[in-house]
Structures are given as structure tokens and as C-alpha cells.
């Protein structure tokens, strides 16, 4: 490497900001890496990721239906708080109106283990599930989505402002749900895959 003039660029280690309080409760792992439910609104999964702009950091929380890989709820904000993940969940619930008993899987971040968020899930009749500490594969599908969002979309153009980032994230959500093809969906986009289910089953 010295002869070729190559230099290793190390990734910056981010400060952990989702450490839970001892008073917060941790849910059992109900998923155990089973990412393929047999129907919609059975298992949702979510997480938070960092988005860098010229004006500073933004944070994105999502809720994904693992059946179709569709993003059913999401929210972007300047702060990574319980309010961030709550708004993403509220959008998902209002869109889908799932029956009670649905499982929502996340990590053990303080936003998800907080009393306020646990009460929100309880009011919706949603069962919480959480992955083990340091086990990234426990939420692999969501992590894969974040990777596609950043490397296939956001990092390809400059992100000078927070407003620009918000608009670009919204554009990707539309593309992802409507147009992006998935091998897990028999080569269909999330929304087309769900629509194909309705046609076969006669659901409206």
C-alpha cells in the first residue's frame, strides 16, 4: 500500500445515542429472524438511521411490513427521540388499520423501550418484539433497506440542506414502494405484490 500511495480511510465511530434506561422494559424476541410472514399486517419491523446533510444530522424512523417489504410508516426529524419513532408508527397504523395481535420488531433503543412508546403499542393492540444486543441480523431486512436508501439514492447526490434531504427521502419512499423490484416479492414492487394478493384472494 505504501508503494502504491494508498491510505486507509477509517469509518467514524458514532456515539451511542439509543442506550436504554434501566427503568425501561425490553420485550422478548418474537421474530427469531423469521422475516417472511404469510400475509400482510402480521409482522412489522422498524429502526432509526442517521442522515447527513450540509446543515447537520437528520434521523429517519421507518415501519416496514415484512410480508411485502413495503414502508407503511416513516418520519424524519432533527432529533432522535421517542416522538420520532411514535410518529412513524402512528402513520403506519393510520394507513393500515391492522387487527390486534400484530408484532412490531425493533432493537432495544431507548426510543422503543420507553414507557410512552410501549403505551402507544398497547393502545394499538400491537405486540412488541426486540432483537438481542449487538445482533444486527435480528433486523436484517430493515438494515438492508437503509443500505439501499443511502447507497443507491441519497449518497449519489449532494444533500446541502435538511429540507433537501426530506424531499429526497420522500422521493425514494415513493420509488421504493411503487417501482423497486424485490426478489422476495417474485420480482414485484411492494405495492404491486400486495395488489396481486388482493386479486388472488378477492380482498379489497
The Cα 104–Cα 201 span in angstroms is 25
* Contact present, 75 and 91 (Cβ < 8 Å): yes
Lowest mean pLDDT among 4-18, 31-45, 124-138: 4-18
pLDDT value at residue 21: 55
* Contact present, 105 and 94 (Cβ < 8 Å): no
pLDDT value at residue 138: 80
Is the pLDDT at 60 greater than 70? The verdict is yes
Our measurement of the distance from residue 153's CA atom to the centroid of its chain's CA atoms, rounded to an integer in Å, reads 16
pLDDT value at residue 100: 97
> Largest Cα–Cα distance of the chain, in whole Å?
66
* 17 vs 30 pLDDT, higher one: 30
CATH (residue range 43-201): 3.30.420.10
DSSP 99: P
Is the pLDDT at 11 greater than 80? The verdict is no
pLDDT value at residue 201: 56
Q: How many other CB atoms are there within 10 angstroms of residue 50's CB atom?
A: 13
- For residue range 92-113, what is the model confidence (pLDDT) as tens digits? 999 999 999 999 999 999 999 9
Q: Name the pTM for this structure.
A: 0.85
Amino acid at each position: 500500500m505504501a508503494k502504491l500511495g494508498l491510505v486507509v480511510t477509517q469509518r467514524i465511530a458514532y456515539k451511542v445515542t439509543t442506550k436504554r434506561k434501566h427503568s425501561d422494559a425490553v420485550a422478548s424476541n418474537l421474530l427469531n429472524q423469521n422475516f417472511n410472514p404469510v400475509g400482510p399486517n402480521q409482522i412489522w419491523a422498524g429502526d432509526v438511521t442517521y442522515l447527513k446533510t450540509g446543515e447537520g444530522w437528520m434521523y429517519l424512523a421507518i415501519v416496514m411490513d415484512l410480508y411485502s417489504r413495503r414502508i407503511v410508516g416513516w418520519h424524519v426529524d432533527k432529533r432522535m427521540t421517542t416522538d420520532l419513532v411514535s410518529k412513524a408508527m402512528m402513520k403506519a397504523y393510520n394507513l393500515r388499520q391492522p387487527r390486534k395481535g400484530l408484532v412490531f420488531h425493533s432493537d432495544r433503543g431507548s426510543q422503543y423501550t420507553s414507557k410512552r412508546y410501549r403505551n402507544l403499542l398497547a393502545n394499538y393492540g400491537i405486540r412488541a418484539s426486540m432483537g438481542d444486543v449487538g445482533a444486527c441480523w435480528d433486523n436484517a431486512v430493515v438494515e438492508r433497506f437503509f443500505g439501499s436508501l443511502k447507497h443507491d439514492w441519497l449518497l449519489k447526490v449532494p444533500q446541502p440542506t435538511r429540507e433537501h434531504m426530506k424531499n429526497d427521502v420522500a422521493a425514494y419512499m415513493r420509488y421504493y414502494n411503487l417501482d423497486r423490484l424485490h426478489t422476495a416479492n417474485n420480482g414485484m414492487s411492494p405495492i404491486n405484490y400486495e395488489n396481486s394478493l388482493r386479486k388472488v384472494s378477492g380482498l379489497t
